[in-house]
Amino acid sequence: MNPPEILTAAQLSPFFMASLQAHYVVHDRLHLSDPAAFAAVAPRIRAVAASGDSQVPAELIDRLPALELISVMGVGYDGVDLGRCLARQVPVTHTPDVLNDDVADLALALMLSVARAIPQSDAHVRAGRWPEGPMPLQRKMSGSRIGIVGIGRIGQAIATRAAAFGMGIAYTARSPRPQLPYRYLPTAAALAAESDFLVVITPGGEGTRHLINAEVLQALGPRGYVINVARGSVMDQDALIEALEQGSIAGAGLDVFADEPEVPERLRALPNVVLTPHVGSATHETRRAMADLAFANLHAHFSGNPLITPVPECRQAAT
Ligand code: 8YV
């Protein structure tokens, strides 16, 4: 039998690509690079391999009549038109859990970086300015208050780390989780009003679009920091820039942006932000684990076995 034909929806990790190419015929982003060639192979494509931040819109799904599975190498799948997949009964898989540690580590790293001005301190030493005088004093993180927006698996990993820093921990989510030993607040604004660090780790998509808006930032106040390791879409980026420029919040640590990889000049010019290029899960160890899981889902499907980590909506659909 001929190996299944696969379309990639984005530039994928080399770990994932290596497994795909060893087992399948891979059309790497052919829909973007060569529409005529894509039209010729589209009827044979049986799976799409995507990353957490890539786009699989309805128009693409509609052009793939033989589509059986979308495997996302990432925990977030907001780029996939899930409604269309459910209507077509095309399951979607993702890679939860294996990246919890890395994303939570980065959240804490951004908190420390922005509060303690670590990039600026590094620049101070490198520029030979230390002999001219010390760095200005910065803000203590241990013992302060963290507010976590979204208390899923990664949110809980962030809370565990924050506990080790002696922080007061509160969260907001669609509904309270009474089994968790943290304080629940019903809205992002109410949480922000009681936080020194507001950490955003909720799924992206229409349901959370601009959840962190001007009102929430206002509630966070001039001593508050906002950290986003979720999706750029969750933050009203214009309102954030405004708040940072006016000093109505203290600073921001951002791993995700509204229009990646573009980051507005106004944001890049600000002294009170630490910016990273969507690297929450970007370690050798974690990207390999994510690639292995994303591949294992494809392999399970093409071997006739149950999917390992279908997204929750597809788990419900299957039962
Ligand atoms: C990566 C992510 O951007 O898991 C996610 O949802 O956004 C990230 O881990 C990506 O998926 C790596 O392929």
pLDDT digits 0-9 by tens, 102-152: 999 999 999 999 999 999 999 999 999 999 999 999 999 999 999 999 999
For ligand 1, say whether the CB of 50 is within 6 Å of any of its atoms. Answer: no
The C-alpha atoms of residue 319 and residue 315 are separated, in whole angstroms, by 6
Tell me the catalytic residues. 231, 260, 278
Q: Which residues in the chain show pLDDT less than 70?
A: 316-319
The 10 Å CB-count burial string (b at 16+, else e) for 1-16 is eeebbbbbbbebbebb
Is the CB of 155 inside a 6 Å radius of any atom of ligand 1? no
pLDDT at 319: 45
Q: Which residues face 212 on adjacent strands?
A: 235
Q: Which residue in this structure is represented by tokens 């391999």?
A: 49
Which one, of 140, 152, 246, lies nearest residue 199 by Cα?
A: 152
pLDDT tens per residue, range 281-319: 999 999 999 999 999 999 999 999 999 999 999 996 554
Nearest CA residue ID for atom 7, ligand 1: 52
> Is the distance from the beta carbon of residue 281 to the nearest atom of ligand 1 less than 6 Å?
yes
pLDDT at residue number 318: 53
pLDDT at residue number 317: 56
Residue nearest to atom 1 of ligand 1 (CA): 52
Of 13, 20, 75, 283, the residue with max ligand 1 atoms within 8 A of its CB, to mutate for a pocket test, comes to 75
Dihedral sign for Cα 73, 75, 80, 85, please. positive
What is the pTM assigned to this prediction?
0.96
Query: Closest Cα to residue 144, out of 105, 188, 180, 195?
Result: 195
Q: At what angle do helices 284-302 and 100-115 cross, to 10 degrees?
A: 150
Ligand 1 atom closest to the CA of 10, numbered from 1? 13
Q: Is 96 in the pocket of ligand 1 (CB under 6 A)?
A: no
